[in-house]
């Protein structure tokens, strides 16, 4: 398989939540807790991890990602 034909790396990264990424947020996961960052994509500084329930609200559209 040609490297240029592959999906983006985030789709193969266990530490990234593809549903959160698709919702427009960072999506970086804290693996031991399952918490994920819902700051804007490519935000400056450290991630702000929230509980899986809060992540679900962002993915469902009932909450917006936190500002960068």
48-65 pLDDT, tens digit per residue, is 898 877 877 777 776 665
25-52 pLDDT, tens digit per residue, is 888 999 888 889 988 888 999 998 988 7
Instruction: List all residues 6 or more positions away from 67 whose beta carbon is below 8 Å from its beta carbon.
Output: 39, 40
Instruction: List all residues 6 or more positions away from 13 whose beta carbon is below 8 Å from its beta carbon.
Output: none
For residue 59, how far is the Cα from the chain centroid?
Answer: 10
Q: In what order do the strands lie in the sheet with 49-50?
A: 29-30, 35-37, 49-50
């Amino acid at each position: 398989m040609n490297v240029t034909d592959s999906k983006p790396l985030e789709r193969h990264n266990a530490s990234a939540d593809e549903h959160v990424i698709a919702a427009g947020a960072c999506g970086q996961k804290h693996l031991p807790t399952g918490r994920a960052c819902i700051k804007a994509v490519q935000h400056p500084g450290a991630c702000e991890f929230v509980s899986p329930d809060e992540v679900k609200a962002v993915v469902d559209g009932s909450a917006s990602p936190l500002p960068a």
